[in-house]
Amino acid sequence: MPTKEEVLEKLKNGVIQYDEDACKEGANEAIAIGMDGNEAIFEGLVAGMEEVGRLFEAQEYFVPEILMCADALYAGLDILKPHCKQMDLGVKGAVVIGTVEGDVHDIGKNLVKMMFDVAGFTVYDLGRDVPLDQFVEEQLRTDSELVCLSAMMTTSMIGMPKVIEKIKARNPNVMIMIGGAPTSKELADKWGADGYAEDASNALKEAIKMVSFLKNLRAEKEAEKKG
């Protein structure tokens, strides 16, 4: 039987080296040695994705590599999810996410979705080229706390302020994140969004930051329990 450290290392490296088989193997081993699914996800798969984020920032990895890493992460995640105990992180997470009408670019959106999946959020993925009113209706239907809007084109982002206005008019407490190459902090502020990520790398970075925060929170809770 491998040790816990060996399993975590296998999961982490499986993600970094976009090796789906290694991630599946690591996930099965984690279950076999009785590890908590959350620990294997956060200390193994997410740790790997954190390194991938760093490699992206250093321009050693680009989008095709990240997509391969994401596949490897999901390969492990699918096996581990049924073995996760419910975490009490003080965050009730439900998010509506999609690429706005007129835009079929969904790579950045999918990467952000992946990190929400990892963090245990309930994700309502509307896909791409989503009619603007559908974001408003889905938020109301699901009572999600967060809505993420993505656009990669200067010509399609113009739908964003309309969605933000409609959602905020009905429920001012909903947090709205916008993302995609043509967006900026300035635009997010102007349109009344609560956050932004300019491209897939930044979106991934922001999402990793969020999940890393949860990871630390989890570690603190674990330490409190032990202490």
Partner 1 sequence: MTPREIIIKAFELGKPERVPVTLFGGGMWSIKDYGTTFEELAKNVDKNVDMCVTEAEKIRSDVVYVGSGFNNFHAYALTKKYGVNMKYREIGAPDLTDHVVHTEEDIAKLDINDILKEPVVQGIMDATRRVKEKIGNKYLVTMTCWGPYTLAARFVGEEPFMKQNFKKPAFVEKMVDFCADLLIKLYEPLVNDGIEALSIADPTASGDLINPKQMERFAVPALKKMSDWAKSKGVYTILHICGDTSDRLDMFLKTGCTVIFFDQKVNIAKAKEVLGGKMCFGGNVAPVHVLLNKSAAEVEQACKEVIEIAGKDGGFVLVPGCDIPPTISYENLKTFHDVALNWRY
Residues that bind partner 1 (CB under 8 A): 18, 59, 61-65, 67-68, 71, 100-107, 110, 129, 153-159, 181-184, 186-187, 190, 199-201
Shortest CB 168 distance to partner 1, Å: 20
Shortest CB 104 distance to partner 1, Å: 6
DSSP codes joined into one string, 106-134: -HHHHHHHHHHHHTT-EEEE--SSB-HHH
- Residue pair 130/105 in contact (Cβ under 8 Å)? The answer is no
**In DSSP terms, which residues pair with 123 in a beta bridge?**
95
Complex with partner 1: residue 3 or 155, whichever CB lies closer: 155
- Residue pair 177/197 in contact (Cβ under 8 Å)? The answer is yes
Shortest CB 197 distance to partner 1, Å: 13
Complex with partner 1: residue 156 or 212, whichever CB lies closer: 156
Tokens for 3?
């040790």
Complex with partner 1: residue 9 or 129, whichever CB lies closer: 129
Complex with partner 1: residue 63 or 87, whichever CB lies closer: 63
Complex with partner 1: residue 40 or 111, whichever CB lies closer: 111
From 193, 210, 217, 188, select the one nearest 53 (Cα to Cα).
210
Shortest CB 112 distance to partner 1, Å: 14
What backbone phi and psi angles, to 5 degrees, belong to 147? -125, 130
Shortest CB 74 distance to partner 1, Å: 13
- Residue pair 14/22 in contact (Cβ under 8 Å)? The answer is yes
Helices (H) and strands (E) in the chain, counts: 10, 5
